[in-house]
Structure 1
Amino acid sequence: MLICRVALFALSWLTLIAQYLLMVPGHTNSSLIMATLNFFGYFTILTVTSVALATTVPVIHAARARGIWAGSPGPVFETLLRFFDRPAVRAGIGLNILLVCVVYNTLLAPIHNPTGLGALTNASLHTLIPVLYLIDWALYSDKSDMRYEDLAFWIIYPGAYGVFHIFRGLIFGDFVYPFLDINELGAISVSVNMLILGAVYVIGAVAFISFGRRGWGGPPASE
């Protein structure tokens, strides 16, 4: 289990670094800031970053248990560790990364054909990392204390991103996801698309919580 988590930890961070270097080469200092903001303007990048942080937690725990790392990373990082160690948070990340995988491979893959290193990072971001994280969550993650009320917490992230994406696109004229492009599709079509995605997300959330409450692959959830 630990070997698999270390591999996912390394893959997640290396993929993010490689994708960043592909997206922001040759920029001046001022344009580098904008390019970096654009990099983190993708739902995929934000979600894979959360996967990377979540996989960092068990690696640090293992390093401390083995006496490899005895120091403290500081109060801010300790708070992040506790946050990403929560069963509800790790499950929510699983749902978000599943959404990344499904939406990309059904809606975006037919119109996106990267080559070279970009093809490798693309496959890692949208397929390999999601599959590996979901396997890890299903088989090994603690699912105790999962409740249906968690849905209200989970939906904040994709909902906030959807609003951010719309305002960002209206301000800069650049919508990174074509199915949310108001300029091309119009407000009504985009609203319908967002409602459909929201419904799919809610159904997925109920399925995740039901799975977790059965206690499969980890400590049983509390009733």
Structure 2
Amino acid sequence: MRAYRAIAALVAWFGLLLQYWLMVRGQHGEAFATRTVNFLSYFTILSNLFAAVMFTAPAAYPTSPIGLHFAKPAIRTAVTLYMSVTATIYIVILEGLWDPRGLQWAADTTLHYVTPALVLLDWLLFTPKRTLRWVYVWPWLAFPLAYGAYSIWRGPHADFYPYPFLDVSKLGLERVVMNMTGMTCVFLVLGLIFIAIDRSVKSRS
């Protein structure tokens, strides 16, 4: 388990750092700061960042508050949920909208395929089971809802929308709210599925 998580951590950090470098290379001053904020405004990046910390913190700092926090099964399940939605939305909606090549393809594949798969395998194989309650799904929704609200708020100020289904300037607020409602339902249903799986299998410490 430790070796697996160490390798998974390296993979997750690799994808994040490569994508960051690709976004900010050649930029300076205000443009560099703007690109950095834009980088951190993607749900993909934030969910992958959670995954990287989840793999790293409990191993490197097991007794620290952050290490203990990310060792909790409920938190690890939440990260698995976010990464699963990241991969699903990319494959179903976003993948066909562009054609990354070279290093961008490597970063894209790591962030949307490899790291989500590593997170899901970690949850299936190593996360203790029969620890979740049905009510846990509600706090898990707080992050994606906050993210959607932030994206709508920042979009017109920065003239930047991270995903086409959140672009108020093109779709209008009503359509974007409907899209967010649909996404919330995806999080809710998938979260309930994870809880159902957790409650149906034998605990593994």
Smaller-chain TM-score bracket: over 0.9
The amino acid across from 2:18 in the alignment is A
Equivalence for 1:11:
11
**Cα deviation per residue 1:41-79 (whole Å; 9 max; x = unaligned)?**
100000000000000134326xx8xxxxxxx8xxxxx21
Gaps of 5+ in 2: none
Alignment partner of 1:207 out of 177, 182, 193: 193
% identical aligned pairs:
31
Q: Provide the residue aligned with 2:147 in structure 1.
A: 161
In structure 1, the gaps of 5 or more residues are 65-71, 73-77
| 2:98 is the alignment partner of 1:119 | no
Of the structure 1 ranges 111-120 and 22-31, higher mean CA displacement relative to structure 2 is found in 22-31
Distance of 1:7 and 1:184 partners within structure 2: 41
Q: 1:31 to 1:173 in 2, by over 3 A?
A: closer
Contact 1:143 1:218 in 2 (8 A): yes
1:101 positional shift: 0.1
Read off the aligned partner of 1:97 and give its amino acid letter.
M
Paired letter, 1:20: Y
SS at match of 2:134: coil
Structure 2: how far apart are the matches of 1:170 and 1:218? Answer: 48
**Structure 1 residues 217 and 120 mapped into 2: Cα distance closer, same or farther (>3 Å)?**
farther
Considering only CA atoms, is the larger Rg found in Structure 1 or Structure 2?
1
The partner residue of 2:122 within 133, 136, 142 is 136
AA partner of residue 59 (structure 1): A
TM-score where L is the length of structure 2: 0.94
Q: Secondary structure at the match of 1:149?
A: helix
Match of 2:48?
Answer: 48
Structure 1 CA distance, aligned partners of 2:122 and 2:21?
Answer: 28
**Preserved CA contact (<8 Å) 2:47 2:83:** yes
Contact 1:138 1:216 in 2 (8 A): no
Any residues of structure 2 matched to 1:65-84 within 5 Å, and which? 78-84=64-70
Question: How far 1:216 moved relative to its partner?
Answer: 4.5
Change (3 A) 1:216 1:185: farther
RMSD value, Cα: 1.6
Q: Are 1:88 and 1:143, in contact at CA under 8 Å, matched by a contact in 2?
A: no
